[in-house]
Amino acid sequence: MQRTVPLTRDLVLIGGGHSHALVLRMWGMNPLPGVRVTVVNPLPTAAYSGMLPGFVAGHYTREQLDIDLVRLARFAGARVIIGAAEGIDTEKREVRIAGQAPISYDVASVDVGITSEMPALPGFPEHGIPAKPLAEFAAKWDAYRTTAKAPKVAVIGAGIAGAELAMAMAHTLKDRSGKVTLIDKSGALPGMTEKARDKVLAAMAEAGVDLIENAPIASVGADGVRLEDGRLIEAEFVNGAAGARPHDWIATSGLDLVDGYIAVGPTLRSSDPAIFATGDCAHMTHAPRPKAGVYAVRQAPILYNNLRSALTEKGRMRPYQPQRDYLKLVSLGRRSALADKFGTAVRGPLLWLWKDRIDRKFMAMLDDLPKMPVPPLPKEIAAGAVEALGDKPMCGGCGAKVGRGALRNALASLPATTRKDITPLPGDDAALLTTGGAQQVITTDHLRSLTNDHALMTRIAAVHALGDIWAMGAKPQAATVNVILPRMSAALQERTMREIMGAANEVISGAGAAIVGGHSSMGDELTIGFTLTGLCEKAPITLGGARADDALILTKPVGSGVLMAAEMAGIAPGADVVAAYAQMLQPQGLASEILGKAHAMTDLTGFGIAGHLSGICEASGLAAEISLDAVPLMQGALALSEKGVRSSLYPDNVAGAGIVTGRKGPLADLVFDPQTAGGLLAAVPADRADELVKKLWLAGYPAARIGRMIDGPPSVTLV
């Protein structure tokens, strides 16, 4: 009998720097059973520093610059928490995350880089843009360079990084007569050999960069940089590339520090044996070195080995011995670079091609992730097992539902209730209870996990389950929680349940209801569900009240099934996945109030637009038309559909949706896409539809008028 190793240890990677990105890749190739891995980062991507000057110059796109942490985490079997770390409690062994509950660790590693924010320089926090963190700078530069008419840029700090950025900016802005000024309070390019410095200065002059040395800065304003001697350097975009320093929260960590950086020994362990640190945020006490990405890359295998040793509490810790010097490849704006090592400096376009090859090879290693082998099926299996298994893994969320046709056929055999206090609502996912004159809606829903982040999954499942209450125009009242945890130690059970119940309470109480109990058990995988009641102050909105000529309004975009299927396969862009999560998390309570006078309404979940709209058509005795071009889509959904990506529930949705005719193709296929925590689909009077859509938009819902109800036998036409 094959045994599943229970989870017993939490490894938390704080930051998505180069070392951690490589550790995730190595972990995916050879995970340590029993360890739950979490990576915490402010964004779903992390910018690669080696390609930043090339991106600024226009040689690379933003997609080429970014390391996709969501894809890497899926490959590693890790969860991603999108948020900025703001502290470590070494006594409780918790990582504090801005705006979120803390998460526990047994072993943690810090790779958050450095920042070039200059809070002490008057006006810089309001008008300046630090070069680090890289991702935020890249986004703001991309927006500026595409909109500036007569660009004027100032870069503060004439070290190698500032010089590279200034030349890159001058190159990309040259066709618009852009003016770039590089300013330093002392001399330019400190630490470089005289030969290398002369070549970089010559390249800056050729690029048209104005260099101002020995010029202390008084302030930064909306009009540019004011020097202490009174001169104003006019600039619309002021970039700070000087004064790189550690993030403020590190100072309160309680760890031993050197100049604010986490002190680590040869094994990259800090003064707390449960915490490691790597990259620019760490100071190697045994071999101090300047801040450079090459060290972070070479630290990764050592960190990977030593994290495993700490988590197994056995095995040999390996020491990291940095090289005495390294090859410095400096971008010179155009497709040219300078190479500097051991006092020798040369420049030219061939060196840029060499640097480009090195950088692309590094990014390809993190992007072209290997296909890990799938365990083979037994030699002998029951007839039909291969067909039932299908050619892809079963989706999570609503993509794991039983098909509409199979479900309807099974439920049709149940006898009708004879209780007078229960009113079945044919086609709806709830029933109406009458107790002491009060009308109560009751419903239940649960989801197979679609993400390794159990707190995020809980929020999605809660919003999803509440959809049935909101779709009937009811007010959420009470909830019980049903949780199946994968097998884990008692300590991890407590941590996980604490996170799950905190997230559940946040959503349920935010909807105006209360959690009154629930049930938990251990199983093969995470499953979260809710049983809910809601109070109806008036007759519930059902599927059966639609009228001919009613307009159809959808409150959320569709595409979550395709996106989650692609995420499971490791082919969905991480930014698109995170954007989809944000859509799923949007509660529909206010939308339900705005649509409170709808003739018919349902929440869009596993059966997709086609299946749920067919339910309205059948219950109301009408047909419907959908204008495909009006249907709002999640970011990236259509591109994936065009590539043939489908949820595992898609074939059942096509078969069970009833009569659907009209347009075909990738866009039409998205009407069969199963939605998790989808929007409300409402049939409303046509003369009020535009007004309601406007109200929904003002309330923050990306709603759209997507079609209409028409006379005819139940069917859906795609136009």
Residues 296, 276: Cα–Cα separation, whole Å: 13
Which residue stretches of 158-193 are H helix? 160-173
Tell whether the torsion through CA atoms of 404, 407, 412 and 418 is positive or negative: negative
Residues 165, 180: Cα–Cα separation, whole Å: 10
Cis peptide before 133 (omega within 30 of 0): yes
Where residue 75 falls (left for φ over 0; alpha for ψ -120 to 50; beta otherwise) is alpha
Q: Which helix (H) or strand (E) holds 74?
A: helix 69-76
Listed in sequence order, the residues at least 6 apart from 595 whose beta carbon sits closer than 8 Å to its beta carbon are 473, 553, 555, 601, 680, 682, 684, 692, 696
User: To which residue do tokens 């945890």 refer?
Assistant: 485
Tell whether the torsion through CA atoms of 337, 340, 346 and 351 is positive or negative: negative
Kindly state the tokens that stand for 76.
């590693």
Tell whether the torsion through CA atoms of 624, 445, 103 and 700 is positive or negative: positive
Residues 382, 513: Cα–Cα separation, whole Å: 47
Please provide residue 442's backbone torsions phi and psi, each rounded to the nearest 5 degrees. Answer: -125, 140
DSSP state, 476? E
What SS3 class is residue 489?
Answer: coil
536 among known catalytic residues:
no
Contact 130, 240 (CB under 8 A): yes
What is the C-alpha end-to-end distance of the chain, expressed in Å? 54
Residues 168, 477: Cα–Cα separation, whole Å: 58
CA angle 443, 592, 438 (to 5 degrees): 50
Type of residue numbered 455: A
Provide the Cα torsion 238, 244, 246, 251; round to 10°. -90
CA angle 550, 553, 555 (to 5 degrees): 160
Active-site annotation holder among 281, 395, 398, 536: 398
Contact 447, 396 (CB under 8 A): yes
Kindly state the tokens that stand for 407.
């479900």
Q: How long a stretch of residues is the chain?
A: 719
> C-alpha distances in angstroms, 608 versus 97, 135, 648, 708?
35, 35, 13, 17
What SS3 class is residue 45?
Answer: strand
- Show which residues are catalytic: 398
